[in-house]
């Protein structure tokens, strides 16, 4: 029984290791998870190693010893598999790749274990020696050697790629050498059983070195610290980039406004005003971009689906793009497939935003040549797979930078961009919107030659006719509303002034009031208006509260349109649900204002005249339904 000391020592170490490991809190990394499994296996391995030796020395019934030896070798192979897995986990591969490797190695390990259990084993017992051999034994050795060879290959790769990862692999190499030595020793000195001891000892050392919970905790803290520092740096970069991006249009707004103040020539004042409008629109785009990305990151962005006409969206995108090209020698080509369904169901606003972003970039980063805007579709039953591409002959993107353009605030070749406005948010937003809608965006680019952005999106096909919002096509641009009275309610004097000035060209009689209470008092006094434009965020009584109070007045029939800076997505729907007749966002869009005025200031008599006849049923417009000839 002299040979029992090493297996017994190994068993004691494995028990000790389990107690220490499971009584202390551990970090939750993949490596630690694998380690937790392997020390349980090692405990069983040590127990069997010691048990089989004691049994062999005292009872010595060979068939039982052979069965235990097979289980023992099977567990040894499983330990080899887990150690290999541990080395793979060090590399922090992507989940999918790790699972693929794990499954492949797992299948191999299962074959080895099955081979060990099913193939014949030779057990020799004499004096105080327990020797083992046979195909089962060599199968286990083959398995463990293959795993160790893979570990060595990985260690060599880590050596060239990352010293930190390489360091973590060194203990495995030491164990490998010890194991080989142990098995050779056992071949020549069969009474010395070393392998279980080596393994337990190795796992103990591992616990106090690379798997040390304190060291791991410090490592995790350092990683978290690095991430926090990176996030902080990103925030600072963001602030300085925002400061620059916001100040640029602001500079134009303030500067040109000053110029207008000192300008006597009306024409040049108008020119300055146009530049102010351009700069303001740019500023608005930046603000919207920041709001969008914050919303996406806070998981607050929602897909709002409805029936829409893609063709109409494409037409309006083309109309928006042409003026952006301006004087540049660029040919703008459009190729829209004729089989694009007339009605689709999906988030029309987001589809438009996605296309608009890539079109805007194509124009921005192309100085001359051709921009091709192409939309194709594959229609299957009720679904339409859209393939939207924008190809340009612009500056192109370097191959190693293609992946980074979708990062937030990432702008390539900043030095070449000094005259081109941008925040580096457009593509980050675009990619996330595409992914939210279950689609894909692909970039192909040749540096110096051009780029092609392709978006794949799936939308539902609807065969119904689009229910158009009832809108009046009356042109109100030069309309005379001198007999109309509009009340503007806003707590901010400048906003009141802006609204009044924008209503001036229509010769409307505008009244202003600065609070909900004041508005209520006017209406209760019996003053009548044709339209009320109501701000929402006002102190004491919000616009919504004022509106609900107004609704309680029996004879009150004036349409109330909310005029608010609360313009993030979903707000329009919220206000319409509250009962407001319509929604106008600040800054006020001239065309939107004209639409609202046209819709609510056209006298009731005129609209009644229009409705002398009942509207015809929608089916009549469906060309697929034959007209009843009898009628
Ligand atoms: P930006 O506001 O800077 O345009 P984006 O997120 O839209 O931000 O784009 C990120 C970067 O990708 C741009 O700064 C530009 O360097 C590059 N990029 C985007 N589209 C193109 C294109 N069509 N051609 C060349 N470079 C492009």
Verify whether ligand 1 is closer than 6 Å to residue 426 (CB atom). Answer: yes
Residue 287 CB neighbour total at 10 angstroms? 14
Condensed to tens digits (0 to 9), the pLDDT of residues 191-210 reads: 777 888 888 988 888 888 88
List the end-to-end C-alpha distance of the chain, in Å, as a whole number.
112
- How far CA 590 is from CA of 88, 107, 490, 571, in Å, comes to 61, 68, 18, 20
| Closest C-alpha to ligand 1, atom 12 | 405
| 3-class secondary-structure state, position 59 | coil
Q: For position 1, what pLDDT does the model report?
A: 58
Supply φ then ψ for residue 411, to 5 degrees.
-125, 125
Tell me how far apart the alpha carbons of residues 602 and 474 are, in angstroms, rounded to a whole number: 9
Verify whether ligand 1 is closer than 6 Å to residue 397 (CB atom). Answer: yes
Q: How far apart are the CA of 426 and the centre of ligand 1, in A?
A: 8
**Ligand 1, from 245, 355, 394, 427: best to mutate by most atoms within 8 Å of Cβ?**
427
Residues with Cβ within 8 Å of residue 575, at least 6 apart in sequence: 536, 544, 562, 564, 583
Q: How far apart are the CA of 450 and the centre of ligand 1, in A?
A: 12
pLDDT beneath 50: ranges in the chain: 468-474, 604-613, 618, 620-625, 627-631
Query: For residue 411, which atom of ligand 1 is closest to its CA?
Result: 14
Q: Which residue from 163, 209, 192 is spatially nearest to 7, judged by alpha carbons?
A: 192
Average of per-residue pLDDT values in the chain: 85
Residue 211 and residue 20 in contact, taking contact as beta carbons nearer than 8 Å: no
Q: How far apart are the CA of 242 and the centre of ligand 1, in A?
A: 17
Q: For position 129, what pLDDT does the model report?
A: 78
Residues with Cβ within 8 Å of residue 269, at least 6 apart in sequence: 259, 260, 263
From its phi and psi, is residue 377 left (phi > 0), alpha (psi between -120 and 50) or beta? Answer: beta
Residue 367 and residue 399 in contact, taking contact as beta carbons nearer than 8 Å: no
| Closest C-alpha to ligand 1, atom 23 | 362
Please give the sequence-ordered ranges of beta strands (E in DSSP) within 406-481, or none if there are none.
440-446, 450-461
Verify whether ligand 1 is closer than 6 Å to residue 40 (CB atom). Answer: no
Secondary structure tally for the chain: helices H, strands E? 18, 14
Query: For residue 422, which atom of ligand 1 is closest to its CA?
Result: 2
Verify whether ligand 1 is closer than 6 Å to residue 393 (CB atom). Answer: no
Supply φ then ψ for residue 584, to 5 degrees.
-125, 130
Q: How far apart are the CA of 180 and the centre of ligand 1, in A?
A: 57
- Please name the residue that has the structure tokens 């020539």: 265
Verify whether ligand 1 is closer than 6 Å to residue 194 (CB atom). Answer: no
Verify whether ligand 1 is closer than 6 Å to residue 410 (CB atom). Answer: yes
Q: For position 471, what pLDDT does the model report?
A: 45
Verify whether ligand 1 is closer than 6 Å to residue 200 (CB atom). Answer: no
Verify whether ligand 1 is closer than 6 Å to residue 74 (CB atom). Answer: no
Residues with Cβ within 8 Å of residue 84, at least 6 apart in sequence: 105, 147, 150, 151
Tell me how far apart the alpha carbons of residues 344 and 305 are, in angstroms, rounded to a whole number: 10
Verify whether ligand 1 is closer than 6 Å to residue 428 (CB atom). Answer: yes
| Closest C-alpha to ligand 1, atom 11 | 411
Verify whether ligand 1 is closer than 6 Å to residue 441 (CB atom). Answer: no
Q: For position 608, what pLDDT does the model report?
A: 42
Q: How far apart are the CA of 371 and the centre of ligand 1, in A?
A: 15
Q: For position 80, what pLDDT does the model report?
A: 92
Alpha helices in 162-265 (DSSP H): 163-188, 195-208, 213-261
| Closest C-alpha to ligand 1, atom 7 | 426
Q: How far apart are the CA of 427 and the centre of ligand 1, in A?
A: 7
Q: How far apart are the CA of 423 and the centre of ligand 1, in A?
A: 9
| Closest C-alpha to ligand 1, atom 21 | 361
Q: How far apart are the CA of 570 and the centre of ligand 1, in A?
A: 28
**Ligand 1, from 403, 411, 442, 448: best to mutate by most atoms within 8 Å of Cβ?**
411
In eight-state DSSP terms, residue 400 is: G
DSSP bridge partners of 445: 451
Q: For position 598, what pLDDT does the model report?
A: 86
Residue 5 CB neighbour total at 10 angstroms? 12
Query: For residue 395, which atom of ligand 1 is closest to its CA?
Result: 25
Q: What are the tokens at 145?
A: 């050697």
Residues with Cβ within 8 Å of residue 365, at least 6 apart in sequence: 392, 394, 395, 420, 451
**Ligand 1, from 401, 402, 424, 445: best to mutate by most atoms within 8 Å of Cβ?**
424
Q: For position 205, what pLDDT does the model report?
A: 85
Residues with Cβ within 8 Å of residue 455, at least 6 apart in sequence: 354, 355, 358, 386, 387, 388, 389, 434, 439, 440, 441, 442
Tell me how far apart the alpha carbons of residues 595 and 468 are, in angstroms, rounded to a whole number: 15
Taking 3-state DSSP, the helix, strand and coil percentages for the chain, each rounded to the nearest 5, stand at 60, 15, 25
């Amino acid at each position: 029984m002299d040979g029992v000391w090493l297996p017994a020592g190994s068993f004691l170490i494995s028990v000790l290791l389990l107690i220490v490991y499971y009584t202390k809190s551990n970090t939750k990394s993949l490596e630690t998870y694998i380690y937790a499994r392997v020390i349980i296996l090692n405990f069983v391995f040590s127990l069997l190693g010691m048990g089989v030796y004691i049994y062999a020395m005292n009872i010595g019934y060979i068939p039982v010893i052979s069965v235990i030896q097979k289980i023992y070798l099977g567990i040894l192979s499983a330990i080899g598999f887990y150690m290999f897995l541990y080395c793979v986990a060090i590399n922090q591969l992507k989940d999918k790749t790790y699972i693929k490797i794990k499954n492949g190695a797992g299948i191999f390990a299962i074959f080895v274990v099955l081979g060990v259990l099913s193939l014949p084993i030779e057990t020799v017992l004499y004096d105080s020696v327990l020797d083992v051999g046979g195909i089962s034994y060599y199968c286990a050795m083959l398995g463990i050697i293959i795993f160790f060879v893979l570990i060595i290959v990985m260690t060599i790769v880590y050596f060239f790629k990352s010293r930190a990862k390489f360091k973590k692999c060194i203990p495995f190499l030491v164990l490998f050498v010890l194991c080989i030595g142990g098995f050779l020793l056992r071949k020549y000195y069969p009474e010395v059983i070393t392998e279980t001891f080596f393994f337990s000892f190795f796992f103990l050392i591992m616990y106090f070195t690379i798997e040390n919970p304190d060291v791991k905790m410090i490592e995790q803290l350092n990683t978290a610290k690095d991430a926090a520092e990176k996030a902080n740096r990103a925030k600072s970069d963001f602030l300085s980039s925002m400061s620059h991006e916001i100040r640029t249009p602001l500079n134009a707004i303030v500067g040109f406004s000053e110029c207008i103040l000192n300008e006597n020539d009306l024409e040049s004042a108008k020119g300055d005003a146009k530049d102010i409008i351009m700069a303001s629109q740019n500023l608005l785009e930046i603000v919207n971009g920041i709001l969008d990305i914050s919303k996406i990151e806070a998981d607050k962005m929602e897909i709002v689906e409805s029936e829409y006409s893609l063709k109409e969206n494409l037409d309006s995108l083309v109309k928006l793009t042409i003026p952006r090209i301006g004087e540049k020698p660029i040919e703008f080509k459009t190729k829209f497939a004729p089989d694009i369904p007339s009605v689709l169901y999906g988030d029309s606003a987001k589809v438009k935003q996605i296309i608009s972003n890539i079109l805007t970039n194509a124009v921005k980063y192309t100085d001359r040549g051709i921009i091709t805007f192409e939309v194709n579709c594959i229609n299957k039953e009720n679904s339409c797979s859209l393939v939207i591409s924008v190809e340009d002959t612009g500056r192109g993107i370097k191959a190693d930078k293609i992946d980074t353009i979708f990062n937030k605030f990432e702008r390539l070749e900043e030095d070449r961009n000094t005259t081109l406005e941008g925040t580096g948010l457009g593509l980050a937003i675009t990619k996330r919107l595409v992914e939210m809608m279950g689609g894909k965006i692909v970039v192909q680019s040749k540096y110096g030659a051009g780029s092609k952005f392709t978006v794949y999106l799936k939308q539902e096909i609807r065969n119904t006719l689009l229910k158009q919002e009832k809108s009046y096509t009356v042109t109100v641009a030069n309309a005379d509303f001198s007999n109309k009275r509009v009340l503007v309610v806003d707590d901010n004097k400048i906003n009141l002034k802006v609204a009044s000035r924008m209503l001036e060209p229509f010769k409307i009689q505008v009244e202003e009031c600065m609070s909900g209470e004041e508005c209520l008092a006017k209406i209760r006094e019996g003053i009548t208006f044709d339209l009320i434009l109501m701000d929402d965020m006002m102190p004491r009584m919000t616009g919504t509260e004022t509106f609900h109070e107004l609704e309680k007045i029996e004879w009150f029939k004036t349409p109330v349109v909310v005029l608010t800076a609360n313009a993030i997505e979903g707000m329009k729907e919220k206000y319409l649900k509250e009962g407001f007749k319509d929604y106008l966002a600040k800054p006020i869009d001239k065309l939107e204002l004209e639409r609202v005025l046209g819709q609510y200031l056209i006298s009731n008599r005129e609209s009644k005249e229009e409705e002398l006849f009942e509207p015809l049923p929608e089916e009549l417009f469906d060309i697929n339904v034959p007209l009843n000839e009898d009628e």
